[in-house]
Amino acid sequence: MTVIDASLLVKYVLHEEGWEKVSETLRHDSPLYSVDHVLKEVANALWKHAYLRKMMPARLAHELYSLVERLAETRVIVLEEERIYLPRALHIALQHGLTVYESLYIAQRARYHFT
């Protein structure tokens, strides 16, 4: 089983370098797991590309976000509540100098011994 974070989902929807590997993982290793916070992070990255950087129209940002939502709705990606991982994530963040956002995925991986 595999945990997928926002950076990989953003890479996939924006077809950034390495997106094909993420696509392959989505096709062959599902279900993948993530925390529900991943939706906020992906939405924020799309906002940044559309609004701040003017790299895409808002309509495309909405379409790409819908794609990510469909991955969750069809359980290609299983979303778990971030709340259950926050205490451990805070501990990891403070101990290793990482953000709590990054540490959420690490805490989730640790709970299940995922890759």
What predicted TM-score, i.e. pTM, was given to this entire model?
Answer: 0.90
Residue 94 lies in a domain: no
Residue 10 lies in a domain: yes
Task: Write the CATH number for 7.
Answer: 3.40.50.1010
Residue 100 lies in a domain: no
What does the chain look like in DSSP terms, one character per residue?
-EE--HHHHHHHHTT-TTHHHHHHHHHHSPSEEEETHHHHHHHHHHHIIIIIS--S-HHHHHHHHHHHHHHHHTTSEEEE-GGGGHHHHHHHHHHHT--HHHHHHHHHHHHHT--
pLDDT digits (tens, 9 = 90+) for 44-83: 999 999 999 999 999 999 999 999 999 999 999 999 999 9
Residue 66 lies in a domain: yes
pLDDT score recorded for residue 112 = 81
1 falls in which pLDDT band (50, 70, 90)?
confident
Q: Domain total for the chain?
A: 1
Residue 73 lies in a domain: yes
pLDDT score recorded for residue 39 = 98
Residue 114 lies in a domain: no
pLDDT score recorded for residue 114 = 63
Domain that holds residue 12: 2-80
Residue 46 tokens, joined: 């799309």
pLDDT score recorded for residue 7 = 97
